[in-house]
Amino acid sequence: MIGFKFNILRTIHNMKILIYDVDFKTSRTVYPIKSAFESLGHTADMFDWRKYLFSYTNVSFINNVKDRILFDFVAYKINRDLKAAIKTGSYDLFLVVRGEHIFPETIAYAKKHIPIVANWSSDDLFNKLNSSKHVLSSFDQYDIHFSPRKHLRQEYLDKGAKSFETLDWYYRPGMIFSEVEIHKFYYINDVCFIGSWSSRREILLSSLKELNLKLCGWGWNKKLTTELFDQWNINPPVAMSEMMTVFSQTKININIHTIENRDRINPRNYDIAVAGGFQLSERTADVLEVFKEDVEIACFDSKEELKSKCEFYLKNDRLREKIAIAGYYKIINGNNSLIDRIKQIVDIII
């Protein structure tokens, strides 16, 4: 229990929640956080800040530049309308996902009207790509912070966070494959990596230049060396639903964490598993807290080990498929859905 302030929600069986995040739909699921709260009997409204961006209706280079250059102008309109929504909504919980456009004074305003104001960021808020001057000035304004990055706890507290709770990664129920589907082993790809280009990722994957490697993501067609570009199957980014299909139809799904975001485990570790895919992931203590190595997941530390593991598992179909199935059951039987995480939030704040 965080403190006496949270006890005021104990008598509320149906909370009214305002969620600050991007509202979107995919082919297999409606907006997940809102749906998860509603599945637990609560009422949830969305404040979709993306609608204020120039790139909202037309994604283009010019509009993306406008969003960056006119950040403060966009933020002003967001905060103005967000205050109006806060004042008139009679909410019990205000859940901010990241919130890089929100002014500290808007969070302070929200606390005057809403009993609990929380921040839930799955990204590293100290990474400039995921943050802003407003986020960095607002740590002490929130009642509680939720993050899957338990190794950043002290940094949150040093910035003034009143309370920090670890909320692990999760899978979205609408994306999970059925038990029947995961036992239908049908492969299109030998080895695949889905993710954006980085020099570190290219160095690691360069060890696989002799294998049939498929790449999906941003930047690979511009950044790869000529030798690798000619050999690899380069593809654009894929939507979430298509990504899950790729995971299920690939013999070896490589998972390379984003060190720029200080990843120690990531959503791919969960997504690949619930698609019934075999996963060859970077080895970290956090990954091995969730999965048993060589039983529910395979791991690597270097490009040499990455290559040797790929060569080994491409030759050992039954072992590879046994590990993939074990990883699937480990995640779906372990209270790892988004709904489970929302339950954790509710349990903590009341």
- Tell me: pLDDT of 273 over 80: yes
pLDDT at res. 310: 98
pLDDT at res. 175: 86
Helix residue ranges, H only, the chain? 32-39, 61-69, 71-89, 104-113, 133-136, 153-158, 179-182, 199-205, 220-223, 226-231, 240-248, 267-274, 285-290, 303-314, 317-332, 338-349
Q: 178-198 pLDDT, tens per residue?
A: 887 888 888 999 999 999 999
pLDDT at res. 3: 44
Q: Mean pLDDT, the chain, as a whole number?
A: 90
Does residue 23 or residue 318 have the better pLDDT? 318
Residue 263 tokens, joined: 């990843």
pTM value is 0.89
Task: Kindly write down the DSSP assignment for every residue of 23-36, as one continuous string.
Answer: ----SS-S-HHHHH
- Tell me: pLDDT of 26 over 50: no
pLDDT at res. 245: 94
Considering only 23-27, 92-96, 177-181, which range has the smallest mean pLDDT?
Answer: 23-27
For the chain, give the percent of residues with pLDDT over 70. 94
Residue 125 tokens, joined: 């808020």
pLDDT at res. 59: 79
- Tell me: pLDDT of 342 over 60: yes
Structural domains of the chain ordered from first start: 4-167 (3.40.50.2000), 173-332 (3.40.50.2000)
Average pLDDT on 225-254 reads 89
- Tell me: pLDDT of 153 over 90: yes
With beta carbons less than 8 A apart as the criterion, state whether 323 and 297 touch. yes
Give which of 205, 213, 328, 192 is closest to 270, Cα–Cα: 328
pLDDT at res. 28: 39
pLDDT at res. 10: 44
pLDDT at res. 4: 37
- HSE (side-chain half, CA atoms, 13 Å) at 168: 16
With beta carbons less than 8 A apart as the criterion, state whether 95 and 17 touch. yes
Give the separation between CA 116 and CA 15, rounded to whole angstroms: 11
Considering only 9-13, 250-254, 346-350, which range has the smallest mean pLDDT?
Answer: 9-13
Q: 306 vs 205, 295, 298, 336, CA distance in Å?
A: 8, 17, 10, 27
Which residue's structure tokens are 């209706």? 57
Count other Cβ atoms within 10 Å, centred on residue 14: 9
Considering only 145-159, 215-229, 319-333, which range has the smallest mean pLDDT?
Answer: 215-229
Task: Kindly write down the DSSP assignment for every residue of 46-97, as one continuous string.
Answer: EE-GGGGSTTTT---HHHHHHHHHTHHHHHHHHHHHHHHHHHHH--SEEEES
Kindly give the pairing relationship between strand 233-235 and strand 164-166. unpaired
Average pLDDT on 59-68 reads 84
90: Cα separation from own chain's centroid:
29
